[in-house]
Structure 1
Amino acid sequence: MPYLLLLFSLGVYFAAPFLPPKFAFARELSLLFIVISLIWGLRAWLRWRKANTWIIVDGSNVIHWKEGKPDLGTLRLVLSALKTAGFKPGVVFDANVGYKLDGEYMNDRALSRALGLRTKQVMIAPKGTPADPLILQASRDSKARIITNDRFRDWVDEFPDVLKADRLVKGGFRNDELWFSL
């Protein structure tokens, strides 16, 4: 709507010199509406951008990015880079992540503390349930991209809309430098 108002106001602004003298106020009024529509459009864009900055991180995949060994430090580096880029990361793990990292079960509270995230930003799949469908459903619901090197081949039939090339963001380390295909 703000863009339609902008187009209409611009039309009136440029047509005003050709209008009869009794419509001389039209040019000044159209300037006012141009400013209003620009502010309105900017606010709408900022709200849209703020709402669409969530990004889902496949935690069980990302912890293996550096040297192939599970390491929470690797995930911390990735989360730091995402936050710096303006994203709000949500991390989803398989239930066995604690055993891979620390030899014992870790709940979402312990992992969120270790990662410096709020508890609501960390999710652990229930025992016996893979994290993949949870990651894909969260991405579908929030229209967020997914940080992972997994291709989710087993889930293509159930989540064809999510598994588009622009939704899956690959990454890793080259020469000890983090890279993303953002």
Structure 2
Amino acid sequence: MVVKKLKGWKHGLKCEHCRRVKPAKYIVNGSKYCKRCYKRFRHLQHTLKLNRPIKKYTFRYKQKTVPERIKNLRRRATPAELCFKEKLEKCCPVKFKFQRGFIKGGYYAIVDFHIPSRNICIEIDGGYHNRPEQKRKDEYRDKWLREVRKQKVIRLTNQQAEEISTAGIKELVR
């Protein structure tokens, strides 16, 4: 909704709603309002917003958005994630999934690498994960993955992911 407040009284526009001689002071989406009619209009808009039924975002809503988010994360993978992925492809004896999403009870988590046969999630953390707020979120996610999804969570920094050897990867996957 576009609201344009007119300054002055010499513009000659009249209110379209009350048809009073008093000039219009506001233009909302092309309609002209005097001050009194504009206040009524705003009050009506506010009460309509309050009486509108509340949308419930169910599990189905999250199912639609999580795959889109996963695709976006795969497209924007960091160099450390891509390097680690190449190393995993070369030496990992079991299948793994890149950017896997977990959904349960309205909560979802997307991990960088998931090895389903071993119930292992590997996270590659950049500098962003050193912030206190993000550390708190990561701890909550790790706890949720361990307790609810029964996954073992392994966290590596970008530097560790790039420098890890094939023997180190095989040891992680065991």
TM range (shorter): under 0.3
TM-score, with structure 1 as normaliser: 0.23
TM-score, with structure 2 as normaliser: 0.24
Give 1 or 2: higher helix fraction.
Answer: 1
